[in-house]
A and B are shown apart, each in its own frame.
Chain A
Amino acid sequence: MTISKEAVWEMLNSIPDPEVPAISIVELGVVRDVKVEGSSVIVDMTPTYTGCPAMKMMEDQVKAKLMLEGLDVKVNVVFKPAWTTDWMSDATKEKLRAYGIAPPDKLSFENLHPFAKSDKGPLKCPFCRSEDTALTSQFGSTACKALYFCNECRQPFEHFKCH
């Protein structure tokens, strides 16, 4: 069978991120390119963090999804350009917030210098929108998230780090 590139993108967009199922792997930005030739499809993917343990699962999910459609699939892992949270659209970030994860801001100098002071305002609680929040730890349940606590609604929450 043959298939259009757009149809492949659409199928990939129905695969949820294994660790943050509120968004798809396409919305996350790890699918970089799709090439179609007849019934063979080559998908370029890039990991979020070099050691992201979900990468293998995402690759397998892509293969399984497309193979079920009778397509011949190859997944290429690419490292350049490096994945960044700037590739997420505003709509995707809103989905994260609604899911209870404070979305990443735009990448800034702070992210590339260990001791630079933040030029951003306080992080808003995804539940009550209060700005009275505090960092608990730079590292959370997955490589891409940090732990915060809201002093207003007394809820711990996660922040998808700018990366």
Chain B
Amino acid sequence: MILNDALKEYCLRIADNSSILAHRLSEWSGHGPILEEDIAMSNMALDLIGQARGFYSYAATLEGKGRTEDDLAFRRDAREFVNRNLVEQPDHKDFGTAMLRSFLYSCLSYLQFRALMNSKDETISGLSAKAIKEVTYHVRHCGDWVVRLGDGTEESHRRINNSLEELWMYTAELFEQNEVDALLVKEGIAVDLTTLKQDWLNLVDEIFTQAKLTKPAEGGYQSSGGINGMHTEHLGYILAEMQFLPRAYPDAIW
């Protein structure tokens, strides 16, 4: 694998994660449990779309085949998406599940951007320096809700605990790496995710302790393969909705 291809793939991964999670959050626009949360979820979605745009644009430039950020977001099929399976999981309109999903992902995203601010690639370090400030708010906001729901009523605790049981099987995959990482870590461009695992656990534990939540036992089933294009059934449905307009009306501009 050559460096340029690895770099493009790495940017696609960050962009796909941001774009798919943004889509999940945007499903709540107009449906938030209270007005402030409706605004908060749409704001977080907007931040993520902004991050996705930056990384898709850079990936398109690296590819150099005339494709644009929109082509990468709207004209690729599920098997070509390299997001982690956590971000595509449905929340079944359960607010706690949505907050927990964003919290688990944002903790990793926060640590990754913090490390990537020192990337030897100028575009990646520049985008990361911007993104980290946004993601810091996401971790704080979603973490607050995990605490409120976990340490709330019997009902809210029961429900967020169920969400945790459902989502935990997608967390080991957050740290999966392949030859793309190996090459870029050696070049000082990417961060070795295994070095972030303990910090991620510390952030998660800090909130879970306050939320009176217990992590599911180790050794349970763990999903795998998002970065190699292996996804759960849910991604196809997301893309069908997300990509409908640009595929049905290829000349549409907005």
**B143 x A138 contact (CB < 8 A):** no
**B44 x A139 contact (CB < 8 A):** yes
**A51 x B46 contact (CB < 8 A):** yes
Task: Check if A154 is an interface residue, CB within 8 A of chain B.
Answer: no
Task: Check if B156 is an interface residue, CB within 8 A of chain A.
Answer: no
| Interface SS of B by simple majority | helix
Task: Check if A8 is an interface residue, CB within 8 A of chain B.
Answer: no
Interface positions, chain B 158-204, Cβ under 8 Å from A, are 203
Interface positions, chain A 44-59, Cβ under 8 Å from B, are 47, 49-53
Number of residues from A at the complex interface, CB < 8 A: 27
**B143 x A50 contact (CB < 8 A):** no
A147 to chain B: closest residue by CB: B36
**A51 x B47 contact (CB < 8 A):** yes
A119 to chain B, nearest CB (A): 15
Interface positions, chain A 93-145, Cβ under 8 Å from B, are 111-115, 136-141, 143
- The proximity string for B residues 42-76 relative to A, scoring 1 for CB distances below 8 Å and 0 otherwise, is 01101111110110000000000000000000000
In the A-B complex, list the 9 residue pairs whose CB atoms are closest, starting with the nearest.
A51-B50, A50-B50, A80-B126, A114-B139, A139-B40, A79-B126, A137-B36, A139-B43, A82-B129
- Chain B residues in the interface with A (C-beta under 8 A): 36-37, 39-40, 43-44, 46-51, 53-54, 110, 114, 122-123, 125-127, 129-134, 136-137, 139-141, 143, 203, 206-207
- Chain A residues in the interface with B (C-beta under 8 A): 47, 49-53, 78-83, 111-115, 136-141, 143, 147, 161, 163
